[in-house]
Amino acid sequence: MSAVNDTNFNSAVFLLTGIPGQEKVHLWISIPFCLVYVISIVGNSVIVFIIKTDPRLHEPMYIFLSMLAVTDLGLLISTMPTTLDIFLFNSREISLDACFAQLFFIHSFECIESSVLLLMAFDCFITIRDPLRYASILTLPRIGKMGLVCVLRGVAVMLPLPILLQWFQYCRSNVLSHCYCINQDVMKMACSDIRVNSIYGLSVALLMEGLDLLLIFLSYVMILKTVLSITYQVECLRALNTCVSHLCTVLLFYTPITGLSLLHRLGDGFSVLLQILLGYISLLVPPR
């Protein structure tokens, strides 16, 4: 099915994109995609299972890790059907309602994951700054409430996105840039005034993920300040090692998502292949 460019036509479907120019080898490309999906799903499931079944791991650090694994599972499951449909069966069509539902879940899980990363930074901060009060501050009931707030925050903030998109008429080219639907990509297909959607999406990016990243940065500034005040070098290195893995996780999560968002908003002066590459990295590289 070719792209629709008739300005008087309200498209009933969108066409997703795999890797442009490589359609003949999509079946072969599906093999590493399937392997990555299987490894990620099995790995995250094992993490959740081990933490759930081992009472010794019912500590804040491991509970936050299990939250991150569950969120990543949700993100993988949200994108897997369309991605594998493209590479295995060359099935590119997705209805508007299915597209809106998919982008809601993708953005919701991304927002939840950002919140969990902030909680993990807070965990590192308390561990180093006030270890004696660690157990009394991060109690299991309090952690449960934090997790619930993360979920409600992600759902409440992202729910307006598909609602706003349903108001638009889609009469331009209906070919999307990725193998899954995201708000920045879909709203470009509309021939209606998208300023409200664009402003809301940018506000969410700045006030949610941007604010989370800023608070994570500030927490690490405080952590570094505390670590440098430690007299003994061995204790200093031991304290830093507890946060290195989390810092790497933050970089793996925010770098491709931020880059992808900027590329979509800055216009057509950048390579489409770069957008697609960042899209696959944000999708397939697990943030752990």
pLDDT at res. 233 = 60
Cβ-contact 7, 189 below 8 angstroms? no
pLDDT at res. 7 = 41
Handedness of CA 26, 286, 74, 217 (dihedral sign): negative
- On whether residue 1 sits in a domain, the answer given is no
Cβ-contact 121, 219 below 8 angstroms? yes
- On whether residue 49 sits in a domain, the answer given is yes
- On whether residue 5 sits in a domain, the answer given is no
d(CA 163, CA 158): 9
C-alpha distances out from residue 103 to 107, 202, 249, Å: 6, 15, 23
Direct distance between the N- and C-terminal alpha carbons of the chain, in angstroms, rounded to an integer = 39
d(CA 168, CA 90): 28
For the segment 32-37, the average pLDDT, to the nearest whole number, is 87
- On whether residue 2 sits in a domain, the answer given is no
Q: Is 192 exposed, middle or buried (0-12, 13-18, 19+ CB in 10 A)?
A: middle
Cβ-contact 86, 15 below 8 angstroms? no
Number of C-beta neighbours around residue 93 at 10 A: 14
pLDDT at res. 73 = 92
Percent of the chain topping pLDDT 90:
25
The closest of 207, 246, 216, 189 to 12, measured between CA atoms, is 189
Cross-strand pairs, 94: 14
Predicted confidence band at 157 (pLDDT cuts at 50, 70, 90)?
Answer: very high
Q: Is the pLDDT of residue 90 over 60?
A: yes
Query: 14 φ, ψ to 5°?
Result: -110, 155
C-alpha distances out from residue 172 to 13, 94, 100, 263, Å: 12, 16, 17, 20
- On whether residue 170 sits in a domain, the answer given is yes
For the segment 37-63, the average pLDDT, to the nearest whole number, is 91
* pTM score, whole prediction: 0.86
Predicted confidence band at 108 (pLDDT cuts at 50, 70, 90)?
Answer: very high
Quote the mean pLDDT of the chain: 82
- On whether residue 230 sits in a domain, the answer given is yes
Tokens of 243: 């946060």
Q: Which residue range(s) make up the domain with 278?
A: 13-284
Spell out the residues 6+ positions from residue 76 whose beta carbon is closer than 8 angstroms to its own.
37, 40, 41, 44
pLDDT digits (tens, 9 = 90+) for 169-201: 887 678 888 888 988 888 888 887 788 888 888
pLDDT digits (tens, 9 = 90+) for 211-244: 888 999 898 888 888 877 765 566 566 666 767 7
- On whether residue 4 sits in a domain, the answer given is no
For the segment 257-285, the average pLDDT, to the nearest whole number, is 70
Number of domains in the chain: 1
DSSP type of residue 205 = I
What CATH number is attached to the domain comprising 166? 1.20.1070.10
Predicted confidence band at 202 (pLDDT cuts at 50, 70, 90)?
Answer: confident
- On whether residue 169 sits in a domain, the answer given is yes
C-alpha distances out from residue 247 to 85, 244, 258, Å: 34, 5, 16
